[in-house]
């Protein structure tokens, strides 16, 4: 039986959020919530339906986003 999409998205976000919060990687809650929601919704639109895959990929994408935000690559003038 398939989980309804809104519940799939909500539970995937909750898994990712809980992990990032427990590891101290959450950062700004507004930014994190928007990033996780957008990332997971995009993957669902592309056909991904595995809850843990959605959460894990969103976590990895958010961690990469945070690393790049902390140390942006500066373009040479």
Check: pTM over 0.95? Answer yes or no: no
Q: Computed from CA positions of residues 22, 28, 31, 33, in that sequence, does the dihedral angle turn out positive or negative? A: positive
Domains contained in the chain, number:
1
Q: What confidence tier does 7 reach under pLDDT thresholds 50, 70, 90? A: very high
The answer as to whether 62 is a domain residue is: yes
The answer as to whether 77 is a domain residue is: no
The answer as to whether 75 is a domain residue is: no
What is the signed CA dihedral for 12, 16, 17, 19, rounded to 10 degrees?
140
The answer as to whether 40 is a domain residue is: yes
29, pLDDT greater than 60: yes
The answer as to whether 76 is a domain residue is: no
The answer as to whether 49 is a domain residue is: yes
The answer as to whether 27 is a domain residue is: yes
Domain enclosing residue 45, as ranges? 5-70
Lowest mean pLDDT among 14-18, 27-31, 48-52, 67-71: 67-71
């Amino acid at each position: 039986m398939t989980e309804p999409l809104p519940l799939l998205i909500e539970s995937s976000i909750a898994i990712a959020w809980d992990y990032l919060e427990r590891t101290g990687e959450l950062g700004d809650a507004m930014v994190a919530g928007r990033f996780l929601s957008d990332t997971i919704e995009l993957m669902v639109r592309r056909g991904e339906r595995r809850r843990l895959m959605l959460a894990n990929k969103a976590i990895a994408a958010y961690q990469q986003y945070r690393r790049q935000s902390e140390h942006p690559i500066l373009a040479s003038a």
